[in-house]
């Protein structure tokens, strides 16, 4: 790993770690949660708070009890998914928090009886997703960088654009989104991206991607023959404010840093709204607009996601949103393990396989949450 890369990753690591003490200071505003609990009607029925009950999620009396073993295993899966395709870590984290752990159904019980508590739990889910994605992005970025599968200039341009959007979205949506709305928009956006990726797999969608396919084939052959992949990995050929060009396995790819900045802004605006990292948008952007092969898009997406997550988490938590720290701690251990495995196993999966894996997850999760959030139609995932 070259010196400049080490410096960039070290700065991002320090920034990520620095979020924790500041976020804890922001958690001092936890009075917002207590106020929301106090306004909820007391009793033992759904949508009510029983002060004598055992504390559960977020310390809420009678709150949902989450199995720590299930949380750990699911977090490993989340880390592996994100670090393998550079996307869907936040989506899978959301599926875990909303459906697997049951926080979605729990939040809905307060929809009418305690709307403030409903919105507080919703915001907590959004931030919890981002904590998991941030660590996975950090670990996977380092591992991909070692394999020379990260385009650092592109990742930084996307990440810088995302910082502004992350700041704006948090301050304009926090405490204003009901869970059903959040779930519906979450699903709709994911479903649309899945549909777009299906188009990308058609002959029409594959037009103009010869360089990406040639680079992917060369990479797959190198892995199969156990050749040195770092020697032909990403190299920056030229750098200017108008255009940056990189080389990967004999193929040259170029992009405009200004348009990358703009792309990062819009991607982060959408992903911050639904409380995920944005990899499910960065990856299509990198493969379709920039034209990179999936083997480079995954690592570059991770770097961009890390940058935006640091600010988004900070903004949410300094404004008083809290998470269940015991649950998050367990999940982060699982995330770390899964994120260490992903880059080491993903290189053995053909590029087409990675894309279809992405598509299946997007369509399944997106359709389920869209139906559940907007039409109250239950599916296995919704």
236-282 pLDDT tens trace: 888 888 898 999 998 999 889 898 898 888 888 877 776 666 777 88
Task: Please tell me the pTM assigned to this model.
Answer: 0.78
Who contacts 277 (Cβ-Cβ below 8 Å, separation ≥6)? 82, 89, 90, 129, 130, 133, 134, 137, 271, 305, 308, 309
Residue 100: both structure tokens together: 């697997």
Model pLDDT for residues 55-92, shown as the tens digit of each residue? 999 999 999 999 999 999 999 999 998 888 767 777 88
Say how far apart CA 167 and CA 225 lie, in whole Å. 46
Say how far apart CA 91 and CA 380 lie, in whole Å. 15
Exposure of 59 in the CB half-sphere (CA atoms within 13 A) = 11
Say how far apart CA 324 and CA 58 lie, in whole Å. 5
How would you class 163 by CB atoms within 10 Å of its CB: exposed for 0-12, middle for 13-18, buried for 19 or more?
middle
The length of the chain is: 382
Model pLDDT for residues 281-290, shown as the tens digit of each residue? 888 788 878 8
Are 125 and 275 a contacting pair, CB within 8 Å?
yes
CA-closest candidate to residue 379, choices 187, 130, 208: 187
CA end-to-end span of the chain: 43
Query: How sure is the predictor about 351, in pLDDT bands with cuts at 50, 70 and 90?
Result: low
Q: What is the mean pLDDT of residues 107-128?
A: 90
| 3-state SS string for 238-280 | EECCCCEEEEECCEEEEECHHHHHHHHHHHHHHHHHHCCCCHH
């Amino acid at each position: 790993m070259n010196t400049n890369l080490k410096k960039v990753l070290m700065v991002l690591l320090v920034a990520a770690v620095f979020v924790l003490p500041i976020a804890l200071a922001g958690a001092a505003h936890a009075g917002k949660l207590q106020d929301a609990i106090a306004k909820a009607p007391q009793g033992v029925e759904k949508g009510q708070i029983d002060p004598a009950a055992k504390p559960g999620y977020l310390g809420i009396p009678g709150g949902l009890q989450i199995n720590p073993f299930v949380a750990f295993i699911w977090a490993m899966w989340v880390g592996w998914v994100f670090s393998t395709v550079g996307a869907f870590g936040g989506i899978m984290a959301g599926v875990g928090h909303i459906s697997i752990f049951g926080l979605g159904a729990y939040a809905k019980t307060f929809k009418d009886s305690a709307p403030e508590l409903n919105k507080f739990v919703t915001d907590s889910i959004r931030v919890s997703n981002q904590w998991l994605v941030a660590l996975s992005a950090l670990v996977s970025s380092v591992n991909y960088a070692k394999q020379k599968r990260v385009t650092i200039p592109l990742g930084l341009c996307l990440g810088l654009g995302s910082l502004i959007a992350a700041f704006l979205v948090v301050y304009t949506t926090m405490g204003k989104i009901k869970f059903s709305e959040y779930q519906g928009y979450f699903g709709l956006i994911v479903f649309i991206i899945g549909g777009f990726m299906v188009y990308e797999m058609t002959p029409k969608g594959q037009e103009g991607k010869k360089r990406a396919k040639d680079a992917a084939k060369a990479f797959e052959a190198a892995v199969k023959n156990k050749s040195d992949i770092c020697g032909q990995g990403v190299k920056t050929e030229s750098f200017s404010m108008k255009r940056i060009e990189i080389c990967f396995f004999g193929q040259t790819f170029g992009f405009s840093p200004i348009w990358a900045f703009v792309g990062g802004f819009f991607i982060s605006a959408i992903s911050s709204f639904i409380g995920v990292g944005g990899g499910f948008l960065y990856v299509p952007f990198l493969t379709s607009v920039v034209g990179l092969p999936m083997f480079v898009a995954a690592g570059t997406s991770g770097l961009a996601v890390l940058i935006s997550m640091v600010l988004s988490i900070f903004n949410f938590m300094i404004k008083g949103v809290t998470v269940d720290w015991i649950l998050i701690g367990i999940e982060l251990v699982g995330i770390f393990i899964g994120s260490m495995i992903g880059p080491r196993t993903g290189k053995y999966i053909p590029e087409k396989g990675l894309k279809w894996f992405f598509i299946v997850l997007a369509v399944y999760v997106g359709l389920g949450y869209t139906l559940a959030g907007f039409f109250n139609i239950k599916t296995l995932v919704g």
